[in-house]
């Protein structure tokens, strides 16, 4: 097992960037409340949503990048880089929290309506800023739609030992991760939140997908290839996706709910996003099997100009994720202050994606000119040991 690190490819799998970019777009669309355009996002057609894609690919790329660092420069250097990244995400989270505070304060002070006296009480938490802001800095306060970053911070913080294990005994690492997931369900582990409750994305559960992504990056996907490409698995994936689609339809057409046998309902509900329900994982796996089938690594479309915007967004995921959260606030502001006509919703959603892509292009440009500057060039991508999916 210790030699499971055979180099398998020399260039980054663009599919990872493409699908992470697409996931970022979907997360942006889903974060705009009452957005008609969010009807196109995958969460409406099955159990899992863009979060699974994002976490899996983040685990994959983290293992790919930091795994190489760990092999070349050792544990300490690689762990230090992960800590630095984790700190950057923390700062980004606090920045978003400041924007959130500005929004909430604006809404409550500019809007008075007897229908909503209850909802306006949402500002009450600011009556104790000493407590609330400290809790937010400790990642215990849960502003809406800002739960992914704390999850990512914690996952990265604890990734160094896991990566160490993944590099030496990948199977053991995966088993350990699955054991933690199982124990979490069994013992109800989660991190506490403020004022009450727990984290929206339970890191003890979601680490499974992150570690699985890392395992795939470090050679696991080659081992899985035989399974993923088997017609039986593909057929099962299709059947499962159709099943999930039918169940999802009953959420939107309540009259269909009577056709779901009581026993099936008892078995599947509630589909727990906080603890990464098994149904959600399976749905993500089924989607992944079909995606790997439909989009091979050497797919020509990956180099088409049409795929370019999503790919560059995926390459700068932290910046684009944060921008997306901000843009979703802004889009919602337009809907309530200007107009929520369908046309406006479509235009605003598209404009958001264009802004995200333009920002990603700008960041890429900055990186390029920085590399061109005086001083030693940062090491270019060296042949790594990442593999993506089939072949």
Partner 1 sequence: MRVRLASLLALIGLCGPVLPLWAAPPAECLVGQQQTEHIFDLPNVARAITAKKLDVLVVGAGSSVLPGPNGANVAYPARLESALAEALPGVTVKVATDVAPRRTAADMVRTLPKVLAADKPALVIWQTGTVDAMQAVDPDQFSQSLDQGINIARNAGADVVLVNAQYSPRTESIIALGTYSENMRWVALQHEVPLFNRFRIMREWFDTGTFDFTNATNKLDIAARVHDCIGRLLAELVNEAGKPHVNGGN
Tell me phi and psi for residue 295, to 5 degrees: -120, 90
Closest CB 119 distance from partner 1, rounded Å: 5
Question: Which position among 6, 114, 372, 379 is part of the footprint of partner 1 (CB under 8 A)?
Answer: 114
> Of 9-17, 113-121, 284-292, 364-372, which segment contacts partner 1 by CB under 8 A?
113-121
Least separation, in Å, of the C-beta of 328 and partner 1? 7
Question: What residue has token string 């663009």?
Answer: 14
**113: contact with partner 1 by CB under 8 A:** yes
Q: Which residue, 340 or 391, is less far from partner 1 as judged by CB?
A: 340
Smallest distance from the beta carbon of 374 to partner 1, in angstroms?
A: 45
Interaction of residue 135 with partner 1, rule CB under 8 A: no
Cβ-based nearer residue to partner 1, 231 or 253: 253
For residues 71 and 310, give the distance between their C-alpha atoms in angstroms, rounded to a whole number.
Answer: 30
Distances (CA, A) of 135 to 131, 140, 191, 250: 6, 5, 13, 38
Is 52 within 8 Å of 284 (Cβ atoms)?
Answer: yes
**The one among 1, 98, 122, 138 contacting partner 1 by CB under 8 A:** 122
Q: How far, in whole angstroms, is CA 290 from its chain's centroid?
A: 19
Least distance (Å) from partner 1 to the CB of residue 355?
18
Binding residue count for partner 1, defined by CB under 8 A: 51
CB of 133 to partner 1, least distance (A): 16
Three-state SS annotation for the chain? CCCCCCCCECCCCHHHHHHHHHHHHHHHHHHCCCCHHHHHCHHHHCCCCHHHHHHHHHHHHHHHHHHHHHHHHCHHHHHHHHHHHHHHHHHHHHHHHHHHHHHHHHHHHHCCCHHHCCHHHHHHHHHCHHHHHHHHHCCCECCCCCCHHHHHHHHHHCHHHHHHHHHHCHHHHHHHHHHHHHHHHHHCCCCECECCCECCCCHHHHHHHHHHHHHHHHHHHHHHHHHHCCHHHHHHHHHHHHHHHHHHHHHHCHHHHHHCCHHHHHHHCCCCCCCCCHHHHHHHHHHHHHHHHHCCCCCHHHHCCCCHHHHHHHHCHHHHHHHHHHHHHHHHHHHHHCCCCHHHHHHHHHHHHHHHHHHHHHHHHHHHHHHHCCCCCCCCCCCECCCCCCC
Q: Mark the segment that binds partner 1 (CB under 8 A) among 127-135, 163-171, 225-233, 270-278.
A: 270-278
Residue 34 in contact with partner 1, rule: CB under 8 A: yes
* Per CB under 8 A, 274 contacts partner 1: yes
CB of 206 to partner 1, least distance (A): 16
For tokens 């589909």, what's the residue? Answer: 271
> Shortest gap between Cβ of 115 and partner 1 (angstroms)?
4
Contacts (CB under 8 A) with partner 1, residues 282-311: none
> What's the closest the beta carbon of residue 190 comes to partner 1, in angstroms?
9
Nearer to partner 1, 20 or 283 (CB): 283
Binding window for partner 1 (CB under 8 A); candidates: 25-33, 72-80, 355-363, 379-387: 25-33
Does residue 283 contact residue 46 with C-beta atoms inside 8 Å? Answer: yes
Residue 384 beta carbon to partner 1: minimum distance, rounded to whole angstroms: 39
Q: Least distance to partner 1 from the beta carbon of 332, Å?
A: 5
Nearer to partner 1, 8 or 120 (CB): 120
Kindly indicate which of the ranges 55-63, 87-95, 108-116, 168-176 contains the residues binding partner 1, using the contact rule CB under 8 A: 108-116
Closer by beta carbon to partner 1, 15 or else 142: 142
Contact flag: residue 186 with partner 1 (CB under 8 A):
no
Q: Does 269 bind partner 1 (CB under 8 A)?
A: yes
Cβ proximity to partner 1: between 1 and 256 the closer is 256
Q: Which residues bind partner 1 (CB under 8 A)?
A: 31-34, 36, 39, 103-104, 107, 110-122, 142, 144-145, 193, 195-198, 251-255, 257-258, 265-266, 269-270, 273-274, 328-329, 332, 335-337, 340, 342
């Amino acid at each position: 097992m210790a030699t499971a690190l055979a180099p398998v490819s020399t260039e980054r799998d663009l599919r990872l960037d493409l699908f992470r970019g697409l996931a970022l777009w979907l997360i942006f669309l889903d974060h705009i409340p009452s957005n008609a355009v969010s009807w196109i996002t995958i969460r409406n057609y099955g159990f899992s949503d863009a979060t699974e894609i994002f976490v899996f690919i983040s685990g994959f790329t983290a293992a790919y990048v930091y795994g190489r660092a760990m092999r070349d420069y050792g544990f300490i250097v690689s762990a230090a880089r992960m800590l630095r990244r984790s700190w950057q995400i923390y700062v980004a989270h606090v920045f978003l929290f400041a924007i959130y505070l500005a929004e909430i304060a604006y809404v409550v002070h500019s809007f008075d309506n007897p229908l909503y006296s209850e909802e306006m009480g949402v500002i009450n938490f600011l009556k104790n800023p000493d407590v609330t802001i400290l809790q937010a800095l400790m990642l215990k306060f849960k502003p809406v739609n800002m739960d992914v970053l704390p999850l990512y911070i914690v996952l990265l913080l604890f990734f160094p030992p896991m990566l160490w294990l993944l590099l030496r005994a990948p199977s053991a690492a995966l088993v350990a991760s699955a054991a933690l997931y199982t124990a979490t369900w069994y013992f109800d582990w989660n991190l506490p939140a403020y004022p009450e409750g727990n984290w929206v994305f339970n890191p003890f559960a979601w680490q499974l997908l992150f570690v699985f992504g890392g395992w795939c990056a470090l050679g696991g996907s080659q081992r899985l290839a035989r399974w993923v490409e088997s017609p039986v698995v593909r057929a099962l994936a299709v059947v499962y996706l159709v099943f999930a689609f039918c169940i999802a339809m009953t959420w939107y057409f309540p009259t269909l709910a009577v056709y779901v046998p009581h026993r099936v309902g008892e078995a599947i509900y509630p589909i727990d996003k906080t603890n990464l329900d098994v149904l959600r994982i399976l749905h993500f796996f089924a989607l992944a099997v079909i995606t790997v089938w439909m989009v091979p690594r050497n797919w020509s479309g990956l180099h088409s100009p049409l795929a370019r915007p999503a790919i560059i967004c995926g390459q700068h995921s932290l910046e684009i994720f944060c921008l997306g959260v901000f843009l979703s606030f802004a889009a919602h502001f337009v809907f309530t202050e200007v107009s929520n006509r369908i046309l406006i919703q479509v235009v605003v959603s598209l404009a958001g994606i264009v802004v995200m892509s333009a920002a990603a292009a700008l960041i890429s440009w900055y990186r390029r000119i920085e590399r061109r500057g005086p001083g030693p060039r940062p090491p270019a991508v060296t042949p790594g040991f990442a593999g993506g999916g089939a072949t």
